[in-house]
Amino acid sequence: MAEWKAVQRSKKLREYLTHEGKLTFRVCAYDALSAVLIQKTGFEVVGTTGYGISASLIGQPDIGLIGFGEMLERVRTIVNATELPVDADIDTGYGNALNVYWTVKNFAKIGVAGVRLEDQVWPKRCGHMEGKSIISTEEMVTKIKAAVDARKDDNPELVIGARTDARSVAGFEEVLSRAKAYAEAGADYIYVEAPQSIEEIEKLVKEVEKPISFNIIPGGKTPIFDFDQLIQAGIKYLSIPMVCLYPATKAMIEALKALKENDFNKVAQLGVSWSEFNDLVGYKEWRELESRYSK
């Protein structure tokens, strides 16, 4: 049953990648609660953010300090918290092609709908940070092929996303070359980190045979494009990594400042209420279940 659900979620994710005239947001969760909220507000796909997981799990920046096991366990809790397809960030696959094969098999077993693999040198860092390095196109192609092979047993429909960080390292023409090679190697969509203009996006969509995706981060290297512009350019899948993490961080800072000033009323105003929070995390349903077993 769990395997069937995972396959169905992967099929749904594939539909979103090819839906003409529609832009689906990959809204990123950094923990189970943020995944619950993404589902409850009506979005269609949950992404995971290595940036957010690193910050929330160890309180450190996204510079390769979180390993395979830690990421797998956090993503497992996110998958378990939602009925939506989860498209998981698996960084560089944590090593060579064999490591990628093992990583993808294990992420498939916990029920993700897709994984996204990137072409940075490990230890990697957030795509909008300075100091990145990228592996060769040839090495990344072998990793993509390993990922494609790894999904065969556990979920043949598992979506494989291939990310390139070449834009800020080697320029746009290298991005275009890599995108074509990654598509040919079997990636289901190509994720371009930090495109610089709508013209770059239009050229990628036109010349690469697989769907193109990227992210929007406030203050990042990519401009905040107009929504309709992106649809006209042919973008169907857009990652929004910080929509939960940054507002939550700001709210916590404001509440803590209010508490430091002994302003209990302001603390209350800055958050949801006791009953609202209990509703969000399903307390009523658990009470009903408890009563069933108490008879």
> Per-residue pLDDT for 272 more than 90?
yes
Q: Note whether 142 and 99 are same-domain residues.
A: yes
Q: Note whether 200 and 270 are same-domain residues.
A: no
Mean of pLDDT values over 140-167: 97
User: What is the per-residue pLDDT across 95-152, written as a single tens digit (0 to 9) for each?
Assistant: 999 999 999 999 999 999 999 999 999 888 776 767 789 999 999 999 999 999 999 9
Give CA 291 to chain center in angstroms.
Answer: 38
Angle between helices 97-109 and 68-81 (to 10 degrees): 30
The 3-state DSSP class for residue 197 equals coil
Count of structural domains, the chain: 2
Domain CATH for 111 = 3.20.20.60
Q: Note whether 213 and 261 are same-domain residues.
A: no
Q: Note whether 286 and 230 are same-domain residues.
A: no
> So what's the pLDDT on residue 166?
95
> Per-residue pLDDT for 274 more than 90?
yes
Q: Note whether 174 and 276 are same-domain residues.
A: no
Q: Where are the alpha helices (DSSP H) in the chain?
A: 2-17, 32-40, 50-58, 68-81, 97-109, 137-154, 167-170, 172-185, 198-207, 227-233, 245-260, 264-270, 274-280, 283-293
Q: Which residue is associated with the tokens 């961080």? A: 249
Give the whole-angstrom CA distance, residue 51 versus residue 233. 28
Give the whole-angstrom CA distance, residue 282 versus residue 25. 25
Q: Note whether 213 and 257 are same-domain residues.
A: no
Is the separation of the CB atoms in 175 and 201 below 8 Å?
no
Residue in 38, 106, 69 with CA at minimum distance from that of residue 247 = 38
pLDDT band, very low/low/confident/very high, at 221 (cuts 50, 70, 90) = confident
Q: Note whether 236 and 259 are same-domain residues.
A: no
Mean of pLDDT values over 277-288: 96
> So what's the pLDDT on residue 16?
97
Give the whole-angstrom CA distance, residue 174 versus residue 193. 12
pLDDT band, very low/low/confident/very high, at 219 (cuts 50, 70, 90) = confident
Mean of pLDDT values over 240-266: 97
Compute the half-sphere exposure of residue 19: CA atoms within 13 Å on the CB side of its CA.
15
Q: Note whether 283 and 200 are same-domain residues.
A: no
Backbone φ, ψ for residue 106 (5° rounding)? -70, -35
Residue in 31, 75, 26 with CA at minimum distance from that of residue 281 = 31
Mean of pLDDT values over 266-285: 96
Residue type, 64: G
189-192 and 237-240 as β-strands: parallel, antiparallel, unpaired? Answer: unpaired
pLDDT band, very low/low/confident/very high, at 1 (cuts 50, 70, 90) = low
Q: Note whether 122 and 161 are same-domain residues.
A: yes
Is the separation of the CB atoms in 222 and 168 below 8 Å?
no
> Per-residue pLDDT for 276 more than 90?
yes
Q: Which residues pair with 96 in a beta bridge?
A: none
Q: Note whether 72 and 215 are same-domain residues.
A: yes
User: What is the per-residue pLDDT across 54-77, written as a single tens digit (0 to 9) for each?
Assistant: 999 999 999 999 999 999 999 999
> So what's the pLDDT on residue 155?
96
Q: Note whether 232 and 271 are same-domain residues.
A: no
Give the whole-angstrom CA distance, residue 240 versus residue 257. 28
Cis ω on the peptide bond leading into residue 218 (within 30° of 0)? no
Backbone φ, ψ for residue 167 (5° rounding)? -60, -45
Q: Note whether 54 and 157 are same-domain residues.
A: yes
Tell me the residue range of the domain where 274 lies: 250-293
Is the separation of the CB atoms in 125 and 131 below 8 Å?
yes
Give the whole-angstrom CA distance, residue 157 versus residue 139. 24
Give the whole-angstrom CA distance, residue 146 versus residue 224. 34
